[in-house]
Structure 1
Amino acid sequence: MTEIDNRERILEMSRDMFMRYGIRSVSMDDIAGALGMSKKTIYQYYADKDELVLAVIRYKTCESEELCKVDKENASDAIDEMFRAMDMVEHMFRTMNPAVLFDLRKYHPAAFGILEQHKHEYLYNTIRKNLEWGIREELYRPEINVDIIARYRVESMLLPFDPSFLSRQKANLADVEQQVLEHYLFGIVTLKGYKLALKYQQKRRKQAQK
């Protein structure tokens, strides 16, 4: 097995374990055991856990950017792009431990900084472009302040990870984020956009029942 193969195996296993169990609760021993290799071998590719977490977050942000690009390219209109984003987020959050964000912020500030930059730059611009697209199509209300609403949406993305919020209701991360997204979408549409959003929503619910 090549060095690249080993590096990728370590990265993928770490990503899966961090997302499922949280970052702090997964040790380098746990990762080594899951891979069937020694910690010494892992340290040949990643100097310490902090470097490994950094690599995982870089991987996840690149993955997010690629998925957003695919959604944009395949979307028929701005609302379609929004529903594609809902599907992407639901898939991502279904198996994600709520502790991930807390662990990043408290124990891995460099990795958390990369996530924050991704949120405030790439995701903000993606949302802003979607709003501008929807306004041009007369699907979103023309009086919207694009900068304010895009920033609001960016900040609301991480609401499901807030421990004080999550502890007060029983829904999981994916269900909370879906409700937040739908609330956001139906708050910005015109009547024309509302009718189209209902069609996409009904189609999505029918597919979920299959």
Structure 2
Amino acid sequence: MHSDPHISQPKPMIPVEAQERILQSSEAIFMRMGIRSVSMDDISTQLGMSKKTLYNYFEDKDQLVTTVVSRHFKQKCLELEACSNQAHNAVHEFFLILDRIIIDFTSMNPIVIHDMQKFHPLAYEAFTRYKQEFVLACVRQNIERGKKEGHYRTDLDIDIISKYRLESIMIPFNMSVFPPEHYTLVSTAKLISENFIYGLVTPEGRALVEQYINERRK
């Protein structure tokens, strides 16, 4: 039986679309479950795709994880740049970025970083590179902007404070200090971030901090 050429046939999924679907689904599973506990079988089942087809796109789980992580952080770079461009001032930028962090942390299992570091060194290297190069530069630029605007103290050592902020973002992932059964990534990150920004600001900047905190509590 021949198909009627006048009836539109379903468009076959091209490889790029299939790969993107795999990456999106894998990222969601890894964020929710962690990395180590998720198998290629789990991913193929979630996708409704045979494991053979999955392996046509990624030769092993490590390659999949590394690709997911690299893709994730490219997207984060775009988001941080958008926050900087949209911000009215440095304090506003800080809170726009914190909003993005909270969105990510809401659906993130804290064991993800540990799993990456222990079992997927190439993925962890991509994460470290993103953190040490891009995020650190964003933090430095924010502090410089805040000082110029008069919202951050002029006596701040930008090098030390920017590195301190970078490390403070990672504190909630220390599960020996903040076990997940007692603390959430979101609440811990918010408290640490709010305490951090209060240490940077001038009286004018403090008024902005309180304004943005109050807006987010409504």
Q: Same fold (TM over 0.5)?
A: yes
Corresponding residue of 1:143: 155
Between the two proteins, what is the percent identity of the paired residues?
A: 38
Runs of 4 or more off by more than 4 Å in structure 1?
A: none
- The amino acid across from 2:63 in the alignment is E
Q: Which runs of 5+ in 1 are unaligned?
A: none
Whole-angstrom distance in 2 between the partners of 1:110 and 1:24: 15
Whole-angstrom distance in 2 between the partners of 1:51 and 1:176: 32
Number of residue equivalences: 206
Q: Which runs of 5+ in 2 are unaligned?
A: 1-12
- The amino acid across from 2:198 in the alignment is F
Corresponding residue of 1:75: 87
* 1:57 corresponds to which of 69, 72, 76: 69
Whole-angstrom distance in 2 between the partners of 1:101 and 1:168: 14
- The amino acid across from 2:165 in the alignment is R
Whole-angstrom distance in 1 between the partners of 2:109 and 2:183: 13
* 1:182 corresponds to which of 194, 197, 215: 194
Corresponding residue of 1:47: 59
Structure ranking higher in helix proportion: 1
Aligned-residue offset at 1:157: 1.1
Which SS does the other structure have where 2:199 is aligned? helix
Which SS does the other structure have where 2:160 is aligned? helix
Contact 2:153 2:202 in 1 (8 A): yes
Whole-angstrom distance in 2 between the partners of 1:48 and 1:7: 14
Q: Does 1:2 align with 2:17?
A: no
Corresponding residue of 1:92: 104
* 1:154 corresponds to which of 166, 171, 192: 166
Corresponding residue of 2:136: 124
Corresponding residue of 2:114: 102
- The amino acid across from 2:205 in the alignment is G
Whole-angstrom distance in 1 between the partners of 2:195 and 2:65: 33
- The amino acid across from 1:134 in the alignment is G
- The amino acid across from 1:64 in the alignment is K
TM-score by length of 2: 0.92
Aligned-residue offset at 1:168: 8.2
The CA deviation string for residues 71-92 of structure 1, in whole angstroms up to 9 with x for no partner, is 0111000000011011101100
The CA deviation string for residues 91-114 of structure 1, in whole angstroms up to 9 with x for no partner, is 000010011000000000110011
Rg (Cα) greater in structure? 2
- The amino acid across from 1:149 in the alignment is I
Aligned-residue offset at 1:171: 2.6
- The amino acid across from 1:52 in the alignment is L
Whole-angstrom distance in 2 between the partners of 1:197 and 1:91: 20
Q: Does 1:170 align with 2:182?
A: yes
Which SS does the other structure have where 1:166 is aligned? coil
Whole-angstrom distance in 2 between the partners of 1:100 and 1:21: 8
Which SS does the other structure have where 1:165 is aligned? coil
Which SS does the other structure have where 1:188 is aligned? coil
Whole-angstrom distance in 1 between the partners of 2:16 and 2:57: 9
Corresponding residue of 1:11: 23
Contact 2:110 2:180 in 1 (8 A): no
Please list, as runs of the form range in 1=range in 2, the aligned pairs for 1:185-200 lying within 5 A after superposition: 185-200=197-212
Q: CA RMSD in A?
A: 1.0
